[in-house]
Amino acid sequence: MYSITPWRPILCGPEPLVLPVAGDTVRAGFPSPAEDFAVERLDLTTILVTHPQATFIVRLRGDSMREVGIFDGDLLVVNRALKPTHTDVVLAVVDGEFTCKTLWLKHGRMKLKPANPTYPEIVPKDGQIVEIWGVVTATIKRFRA
C-alpha cells in the first residue's frame, strides 16, 4: 500500500477555469488539416467538478493503479458527494492511511483492488477500519512543465 502524501487537499471552487479549445476532437491516427479547427472557450470546472463543495484534488504517489492509467504524480479529482459503487476508483482510508484503489463490492463483501499485480488486495479484517473517502472522477496528468 502507498499513501498520498503530503496530505494537502486542494478544494475545487466554483470559479471557472476557461481555456481555449481547438475543435471537438484530435485524431490519433492520420493528421487532419489545421484549418478545420475553430477556436472556442471551454470551462474545465464544468467538466471536472459536479459538486464544488465536495470535490477536491490530491496528488497520487505510487504505482498500484498503473494498469488503469493512473500513475505516480497524477492529480486525482475526488468527489465526496458521490455514493461509491462496485468498480469505482476510490480514495479510501485504511487504518488511518489514504490509498487509491478500485472498490469491489459483491455478495455483501468489500475489498480494495489495486491495478498492478505486484500489490495485494486489501480485504478488511474484523475490527479493521476502512472508510471510502470519495470517488475518483478524473485524473490530471502533466507531461511537461
Q: Cα–Cα distance between 89 and 18 in angstroms, integer? A: 27
Active-site option among 3, 32, 64, 83: 64
What is the H or E stretch that residue 45 is in? helix 44-48
Give me the residues paired with residue 55 across strands.
79
Active-site option among 101, 106, 125, 141: 101
Is 101 catalytic? The answer is yes
| Total Cβ atoms within 10 A of residue 77 | 21
Would you name the residues annotated as active-site residues?
Answer: 64, 101
